[in-house]
Structure 1
Amino acid sequence: MKVIFNADDFGLTPGVNKGIIKAHQQGVVQSTTMMVGMDAERHAIELAKQNPNLNVGVHLRFTTGIPLTGHPNLTRGQTQFVSYDELWKIQDFEEEVVYQEAVAQVEAFLKLGLPLSHLDSHHHAHTHPLLLPVIRKVAQKYKVPLRGSGLCHIENSVKYYFTAEFYDQGVSLEG
């Protein structure tokens, strides 16, 4: 059995980026997932290129930041994506719109010059029952694994565990 420690939110802030790189250099983190279109994206790319053994995937955003496609179905009339709580209440995502946004984020990542290792999503949004089938198609299109590919809160056979017990306990976005 192989255990992989993946660090989410690469590209969110310089502090998050530095923390991920430090954990990688100390042998704790083998992979990370990038939030394309966020403020510290360029900083993250520079660090990733300096650390070629770090596998980098895309941390698809559906609950943070501005959609790359700008489609109003993803923002519910605002400029930013809906919140995590709002996302789980939505029952009418347009599959094609979700697909286009996910592909836009992957394509934006590929233009940055790094190989794509895998996909996952911020706040595990891809485990939403309406998003998961679409994001699986995106993973298949790019021939990469989808981390945590079961539906949230539903029993599945995937051996995947997420913990947020440490969340917000003495940790800041800037270290």
Structure 2
Amino acid sequence: MTPSRFLIINADDLGISPEANRGIFMAYEKGVVTDSSLLIQGPYSRQAIEKIKKNPSFHVGIHIDLDPLLGWKSPGIERFPRPKLLEMMNKPDFFKRVKKEIDKQVTAFLERGLIPSHIDTHHHVHGFPQIFELLVEAMDRLGIRAGRFSKKGYALLGREDIPVTSGQAQWMEDVLRKKGILHPHHLIDPLFPFSLKEIPAGVSELMVHPSMGGDQWRQKDFEMLINPLFMSTVREEGIQLISFSELVSSPSPLT
């Protein structure tokens, strides 16, 4: 028997712009996007929430944005050199501010009557071990049982990547397992060439940023998703599309 392949198509940056909101919901309505990540403090989050509440089957997670605390701005601006930033992350005051900000954003999400399917972070900053630990602590405390994880580290557009060593990856996986937090086995970033035919067995997350207008790379994601060839390949390959919520609610592990 051919091993099962499950794919979460997760749209990041919901709430960042009207164009992104339109692109994400259009891809959802076409049955392609299966989950999403909301920037609760995004300038167009209210617009996104209104649309979410009109679509009860729409899955949405919390896209924690810690960029201001790190001195990060778009496009690719970092106030501190990476060694200085890593040094800052080990200071107790930084821990307190990050914990407070995570709690603030999660509270804002919940107060709007939304149920989080998962948690991830803007620009993958939970790839830094210090932030990872604080995020997992919040997830455990709040009963959020799914999130994004990559044992290979995280590539960032226009800025230095966030590497994850094999030792760090093993530690992170152990922490997630002990806390009962589930995650896809593989993270696929369309910034790099990939083939649906080569998606491995188990659960994968395809992280996308679809947008109807705006940044060219976001438009490219949107065009990829709505191309009829994309979904026809998914069907031909027998890939099962799921959400983070379905990953958690499955009566048996999806492997």
> The TM-score by the shorter chain falls in which range?
0.7 to 0.9
Residue number among 165, 168, 171 corresponding to 2:216 in the alignment: 168
Deviations 1:17-45 (A, max 9, x none): 11111111111111101101121011000
Matches of 1:26 and 1:133, distance apart in 2: 36
**1:25 is the counterpart of 2:73:** no
Deviations 1:43-94 (A, max 9, x none): 000111111111111100012xx6xxxxxxx26xxxxx52466377112222
* Aligned equivalent of 1:109: 109
Contact 2:150 2:187 in 1 (8 A): no
* Aligned equivalent of 1:12: 16
Contact 1:58 1:120 in 2 (8 A): yes
Change (3 A) 1:82 1:159: same
**1:159 is the counterpart of 2:160:** no
Is 139-148 or 27-36 further displaced after alignment?
Answer: 139-148
Equivalent residue runs for 1:67-106 within 5 Å: 74=69, 81-83=71-73, 86=78, 89=82, 90-91=85-86, 92-93=88-89, 94-106=94-106
Contact 2:102 2:138 in 1 (8 A): yes
* TM-score between both structures, scaled by the size of structure 2: 0.56
Q: Could you say what the CA RMSD is over the residues aligned between the two structures, in angstroms?
A: 2.6
Higher strand share: 2
Shift of the alpha carbon at 1:164? 4.1
Shift of the alpha carbon at 1:171? 2.1
**1:52 is the counterpart of 2:83:** no
The runs of 5 or more residues in structure 2 that have no matched partner are: 154-162, 174-183, 193-214, 224-255
How many pairs align?
A: 159
Structure number with larger C-alpha Rg:
2
* Aligned equivalent of 1:143: 143
Contact 1:128 1:151 in 2 (8 A): no
* TM-score between both structures, scaled by the size of structure 1: 0.79
Residue number among 61, 65, 71 corresponding to 1:61 in the alignment: 65
Deviations 1:70-124 (A, max 9, x none): xxxx26xxxxx52466377112222222111011001011111111111001111
Sequence identity percentage: 29
